[in-house]
């Protein structure tokens, strides 16, 4: 079945031996990736490299959304070579990965139009490249002016720098400089040999996605350590993931309402979010679900009492949220601020590889729960909600629709859970990872697809760990969304994406 230029695998199930991955010449790799990415049902999950035995080993994972297959392509580079022909001019969605490889390992990509720093990691190839000398794009003109915002913003949010080039009130160009949140997460996954530490690291990649990242990590470990989890636990994990989605979507609705001074929407949604996260706290003691997902088992198996509480709260939240969003999205004063603002078109989104709810808001069916199902979603068909407009209104309304859909999914999941045999054991921390292997794990967090990959050495130690938060793809979408908009519309555009700084900076 395997084509000689790549190896095929599926989400979370099949670790492979690194020696089984065909290593091809870069020219062939280049052609193959171009050929694959021309097909719109394929997209690049992750492309990175790591140093091994004096060479750089490159791994590129391309997902086929029609078949659920992930194709793994690989090439190598000797130390005497430092340049690779850039793929970005033909496959713009690769831009962020080539930039990352350049920043981390000093590889040059001639032809790359935007080979700029990504996050200034502590172990970057060029220590002369520092936060202060970021090469911002400039336009020479007497009529234009620049506006710089951040890293510290007006609200209680994470840091990042936004540089606008404006013509009067109109934004011509936005460049986003990130990296302030860089904590060295990927390196710590290698350095910290302890299973529990790794779980906590995963949960803290982005605290608003503790379940999404925690689950991506647990799945990865389970696949490499050969740990099977029972159906009940798989269902519980899906419930937790949907709870996280509901909570954040409602919180974002509050933030969007607040930005256009619709206080009623803001305060009611804030209170509804509180109800959801307090239910997560009722379940596991933490409002963000930290501690809930662990490899092999759970410290907080779902009980009938918790399930009952979830159902009760959901019913109330769903009803009230529907009432208030019904009002928010019909009010002329709100619509005037959301409609046709911050539009990302479908062709734009496809070309830069937008994922998750931002992609679904402009008509792209991209949802790992459906295309590369994991956990109990394998037995459970998800029909992703999509909207066409790609503007702030679409991203707002998609949240309302997804909250409703997720509430329905949770009810169905709890039904299935009640019928399954419950044999959820304690977490497994004393696992042994399969040596010399590669594994990949995908989940669909509330923002979009999360991808964790790992390579182990001949002893079964973690040799390399790679994390991809959906924000990594989607920050570029925000930059495009504000073009030709009034600068005063930036806050609603930004909130409508609600991207992660720490998830990006790692």
Partner 1 sequence: MLKEIRILTDHGKQYIPDLRKQPVSERFRGRPVISEVITREEIEKVAAICPVNAIDRRNGSIDLGRCTFCNECALMLPGTIGFTNDYRIAASRRGDLVVMTGQTEVLRLDETAVRKEIRRLFRRSLKLRQVSAGGDNSCEMELAASCNVNFDLGRFGIEFVASPRHADGIVITGPVTENMSEALEICYKAVPSPKVIILVGTDSISGGLFEGSPALQRGFIDRHPVDLYVPGNPAHPLTFINGVMDLLGL
- The site for partner 1 (CB under 8 A) is made up of 120-123, 131, 151-152, 154-159, 179-184, 187-188, 194, 196-197, 200-201, 204-208, 210, 251, 264, 267-268, 270-271, 274, 278, 281-288, 290-291, 299-300, 320, 323-324, 327, 426, 429, 500-502, 505
User: What number of other Cβ atoms are within 10 A of residue 165's Cβ?
Assistant: 19
Least separation in angstroms between CB 300 and partner 1: 8
- For residues 177 and 183, give the distance between their C-alpha atoms in angstroms, rounded to a whole number: 16
- Strand bridging mode 7-10 / 16-17: unpaired
User: Look-up: residue for tokens 């002016």?
Assistant: 145
Q: How is the beta sheet containing 437-444 ordered, strand by strand?
A: 16-17, 437-444, 449-456, 462-468
Least separation in angstroms between CB 135 and partner 1: 16
Token code pair at residue 393 = 């209104």
- The conformation of residue 443, written as its DSSP 8-state character, comes to E
- The conformation of residue 434, written as its DSSP 8-state character, comes to P
Least separation in angstroms between CB 130 and partner 1: 9
Q: Three-state secondary structure along 7-18? A: EEEECCCCCEEH
Least separation in angstroms between CB 54 and partner 1: 23
- For residues 375 and 369, give the distance between their C-alpha atoms in angstroms, rounded to a whole number: 9
Give the residue with the Cβ less far from partner 1, 179 or 384. 179
3-class SS of residue 316: helix
Give the residue with the Cβ less far from partner 1, 184 or 336. 184
Least separation in angstroms between CB 403 and partner 1: 16
> What is the maximum span of the chain, computed from C-alpha positions, in angstroms?
72
Give the residue with the Cβ less far from partner 1, 182 or 343. 182
Give the residue with the Cβ less far from partner 1, 380 or 429. 429
Give the residue with the Cβ less far from partner 1, 15 or 251. 251
Give the residue with the Cβ less far from partner 1, 82 or 488. 488
Our CA angle for 227, 230, 234, nearest 5°, is 100
- For residues 418 and 401, give the distance between their C-alpha atoms in angstroms, rounded to a whole number: 26
Least separation in angstroms between CB 430 and partner 1: 11
Token code pair at residue 272 = 């509804």
Least separation in angstroms between CB 280 and partner 1: 9
Least separation in angstroms between CB 217 and partner 1: 14
Least separation in angstroms between CB 250 and partner 1: 12
User: Look-up: residue for tokens 């340049």?
Assistant: 83
H or E segment to which residue 64 belongs: strand 55-64
Answer yes or no: are the C-beta atoms of 46 and 67 closer than 8 Å: no
- For residues 100 and 117, give the distance between their C-alpha atoms in angstroms, rounded to a whole number: 7
- Strand bridging mode 161-167 / 437-444: unpaired
Give the residue with the Cβ less far from partner 1, 251 or 390. 251
Token code pair at residue 263 = 């206080």
Least separation in angstroms between CB 111 and partner 1: 29
Least separation in angstroms between CB 272 and partner 1: 9
φ, ψ of residue 329 in degrees (nearest 5):
-85, 15
H or E segment to which residue 315 belongs: helix 304-328
Give the residue with the Cβ less far from partner 1, 25 or 305. 305
Least separation in angstroms between CB 469 and partner 1: 11
Our CA angle for 23, 29, 34, nearest 5°, is 155
Give the residue with the Cβ less far from partner 1, 98 or 505. 505
Closest-CA residue to 439 (of 290, 246, 227): 227
Give the residue with the Cβ less far from partner 1, 64 or 270. 270
Answer yes or no: are the C-beta atoms of 462 and 454 closer than 8 Å: yes
Least separation in angstroms between CB 261 and partner 1: 14
**How many secondary structure helices (H) and strands (E) does the chain include?**
16, 11
Give the residue with the Cβ less far from partner 1, 303 or 461. 303
Give the residue with the Cβ less far from partner 1, 251 or 295. 251
Residue 22 class from Cβ within 10 Å (0-12 exposed, 13-18 middle, 19+ buried)? middle
Give the residue with the Cβ less far from partner 1, 6 or 300. 300
How many CA atoms, within 13 angstroms, populate the side-chain half-sphere of residue 201?
23
- The conformation of residue 65, written as its DSSP 8-state character, comes to T
């Amino acid at each position: 079945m395997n084509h000689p230029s790549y190896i095929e695998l599926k989400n979370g199930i099949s670790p492979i031996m690194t020696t089984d991955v065909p290593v091809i010449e870069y020219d062939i790799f280049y052609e193959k990736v171009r050929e694959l990415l021309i097909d719109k049902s394929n997209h690049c999950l992750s492309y990175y490299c790591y140093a091994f035995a004096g060479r750089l080993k490159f791994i590129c994972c391309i997902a086929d959304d029609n078949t659920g297959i992930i194709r793994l392509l690989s090439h190598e580079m000797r130390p005497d070579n430092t340049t690779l022909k850039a793929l970005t001019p033909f496959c713009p969605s690769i831009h962020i990965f080539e930039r990352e490889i350049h920043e981390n390992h000093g590889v040059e990509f001639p032809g790359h139009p935007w080979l700029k720093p990504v996050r200034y990691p502590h172990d970057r190839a060029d220590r002369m490249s520092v936060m202060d000398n970021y090469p911002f794009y400039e336009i020479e003109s007497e009529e234009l002016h620049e506006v710089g915002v951040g890293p510290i913003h007006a609200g209680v949010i994470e840091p990042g720098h936004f540089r606008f080039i404006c013509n009067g009130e109109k934004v011509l160009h936005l460049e986003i400089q990130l990296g302030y949140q860089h904590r060295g997460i990927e390196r710590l996954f290698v350095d910290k040999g302890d299973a529990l530490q790794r779980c906590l690291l995963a949960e803290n990649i982005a605290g608003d996605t503790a379940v999404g990242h925690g689950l991506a990590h647990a799945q990865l470990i389970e696949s490499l350590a050969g740990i099977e989890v029972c159906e009940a636990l798989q269902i519980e994990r899906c419930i937790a993931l949907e709870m996280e989605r509901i909570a954040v979507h409602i919180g974002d609705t509050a933030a969007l309402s607040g930005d256009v001074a619709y206080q009623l929407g803001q305060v009611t949604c804030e209170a509804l979010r509180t109800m959801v996260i307090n239910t997560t706290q009722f379940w596991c003691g933490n409002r963000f679900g930290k501690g809930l997902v662990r490899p092999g088992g759970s410290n907080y198996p779902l009980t009938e009492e918790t399930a009952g509480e979830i159902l009760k709260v959901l019913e109330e939240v769903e009803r009230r949220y529907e009432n208030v969003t019904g009002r928010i999205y019909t009010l002329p004063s709100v619509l005037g601020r959301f409609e046709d603002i911050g539009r990302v078109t479908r062709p734009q989104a496809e070309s830069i590889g937008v994922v998750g709810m931002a992609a679904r808001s402009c008509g792209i069916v991209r949802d790992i729960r459906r295309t590369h199902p994991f956990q109990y979603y394998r037995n459970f068909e998800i029909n992703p909600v999509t909207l066409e407009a790609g503007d702030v209104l679409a991203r707002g309304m998609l949240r309302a629709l997804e909250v409703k859909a997720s509430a329905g999914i949770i009810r169905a999941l709890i039904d299935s859970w009640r019928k399954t045999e419950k044999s959820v054991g304690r977490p497994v921390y004393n696992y042994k990872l399969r040596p010399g292997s590669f594994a990949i794990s995908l989940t669909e967090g509330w923002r979009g697809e999360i991808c964790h990959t790992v390579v182990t050495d001949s002893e079964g130690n973690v040799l390399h760990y790679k994390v991809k938060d959906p924000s990594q793809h989607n920050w570029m979408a925000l930059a495009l969304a504000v073009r030709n908009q009034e600068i005063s519309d930036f806050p609603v555009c930004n909130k409508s994406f609600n991207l992660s700084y720490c998830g990006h900076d790692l």
